[in-house]
Amino acid sequence: MSSSVSEPTESSPAGPTVKSSPRGGLASVSRLVKLGRCKNVVVVAGAGISTASGIPDFRTPGTGLYANLAKYNIPYPEAIFNIDYFSNDPRPFFSLAKELYPGRHRPNYIHYFIHMLHHKGLLLRMYTQNIDGLEKISGIPDDKLVEAHGSFATASCHLCYTPFPAQEAKSSIMSDKVPVCTFCQATVKPDIVFFGEDLPEKYFLHSKDFPKADLLIVMGTSLQIEPFASLVNTVRSTVPRLLLNRDAVGPFQKVPLKKGDYMELGDLVDTVRRFAEILGWHSEIQDLMAGRENGTILTSSFPASSVLSRNVRGRGPTQTKTTGLGRRGASEPRGRIPPKSRPGARGPSSSSEKSDSETDSKSTVSTVSSSPSN
């Protein structure tokens, strides 16, 4: 198998344009899929898959969330998701959380493409860093999804991990009150993973999934945050890896690319749509999307009054350095400490976290009429 790269052409006033090489990554990978060589696809995703839904990513200069936190008066952008900072003063995060809570945004074509991988019986697992919940809304079932940086779907005490009703936490936060743990009186927060916290238990599935993968698709992430970023290096060395992103990131920055690595640079919706067209899935994805969205307007943006919109102007870009999420450092992906070692911690039976055997046997409801192809 040969590797191929989409090479940037000369810059234009509108920014660099990208053209695909004749043996482009999409064509090569599509051929493998059509030949039936990719039946255990792992998708690794980040904020770039949700920008088409109107949610800013984190690190794009100017528009990214980290470039637009001036009003919070925090010492550095990532402090907003730092557990020690939160412990000391939860107000900046709670203020931002009011804007981040899922509900205002809809999945886009990219989410439905991933759902289609599942529908075709090809998706082994999707690992997302996103906390917007759009994967679930698009219908990707729980058992196919690892929300590595947690979600707003549950809440617990940031100190003793006693579960707290998520809806009650949301109501408090939305009305500028601090939700307090009924057990230890410490502050409750939604279960999104902060810097300095362990990743969810379900993240451990990676140790089984990545060695089993026969295709890795990396989408919309800067691969800057560990331990998540290193996951892409844990597939077998012969497994094709495809990066779909605006720019080359992580191991895809290597020139030339490693044999078996492919990338297609550009806007993700355009790229994914072309991928779907080559695969012959485009109209099925459109049907799936139309069926689930049921007439809902698909793209939206934060309201004009939101800090994210308001502060975009007049703030320079903020570029952060590679940062580790969790206490254990970049080279050692670890999941959340098993609950029994922490009194009051969330148990494995929490609603969104099923065991592997449960997940593999769970069936899926889909609005598309054809059945999985394998």
Active site residues: 149
249 is a contact residue toward ligand OAD (CB under 6 A): yes
Instruction: Give CB contacts under 8 A, 24+ apart, made by 286-290.
Output: 287/367, 287/368, 288/112, 288/115, 288/116, 288/119, 288/139, 288/366, 288/367, 288/368, 289/107, 289/109, 289/112
Q: Side chain identity at 231, as an amino acid letter? A: L
Closest approach, Cβ 144 to ligand OAD, in A, equals 19
One of 18, 47, 117, 279 touching ligand OAD (CB under 6 A): 47
DSSP 34: H
Q: Is 4 in the site for ligand OAD (CB under 6 A)?
A: no
- Segment contacting ligand OAD (CB under 6 A): 99-107, 160-168, 218-226, 282-290? 218-226
220 binds ligand OAD per the rule CB under 6 A: yes
Q: Per CB under 6 A, does 129 bind ligand OAD? A: yes
Binding mask 319-338 for ligand OAD (x = CB under 6 A): ------x-------------
Q: What kind and span of H or E run contains 117? A: helix 109-119
Sequence-distant (≥ 6) Cβ neighbours of residue 224 within 8 angstroms: 59, 249, 320, 322, 323
Does an H or E element contain 93, and which? helix 91-100
Task: Return the range that interacts with ligand OAD (CB under 6 A); candidates 9-17, 112-120, 239-247, 362-370.
Answer: 239-247
What type of residue is 327?
A: R
Q: Minimum distance between the CB of residue 181 and ligand OAD, rounded to whole angstroms?
A: 21
Contact status: 245 vs ligand OAD (CB under 6 A):
yes
Structure tokens at 109: 């074509």
Nearest to ligand OAD of 59, 125 (CB atom): 59
Shorter beta-carbon distance to ligand OAD: residue 65 or 368: 65
- Distance in angstroms between the alpha carbons of the first and the last residue of the chain: 24
Half-sphere exposure of 38 (CA within 13 A, CB side): 24
Cα separation of 224 and 320, whole Å? 9
- Report which of 116, 330, 144 is spatially closest to residue 232, judged by C-alpha positions: 330
Count the residues of the shown chain that bind ligand OAD, applying the rule CB under 6 A: 27
Task: Give the x/- contact pattern for ligand OAD in 254-283, rule: CB under 6 A.
Answer: -------------xx---------------
Question: Judged by CB, which is closer to ligand OAD: 139, or 266?
Answer: 266
Site string for ligand OAD, 69-108 (x = CB under 6 A): ---------x--x---------------------------
Local structure of residue 269 (DSSP, 8 states):
H
State which residue, 166 or 368, has the beta carbon closest to ligand OAD: 166
Rg of the chain in Å (alpha carbons): 20
Using CB under 6 A, which of 119, 149, 170, 206 touches ligand OAD? 149
> Which residues of the shown chain bind ligand OAD in the complex (CB under 6 A)?
46-48, 51-52, 57-60, 64, 78, 81, 129, 149, 193, 220-222, 224-225, 245-247, 249, 267-268, 325
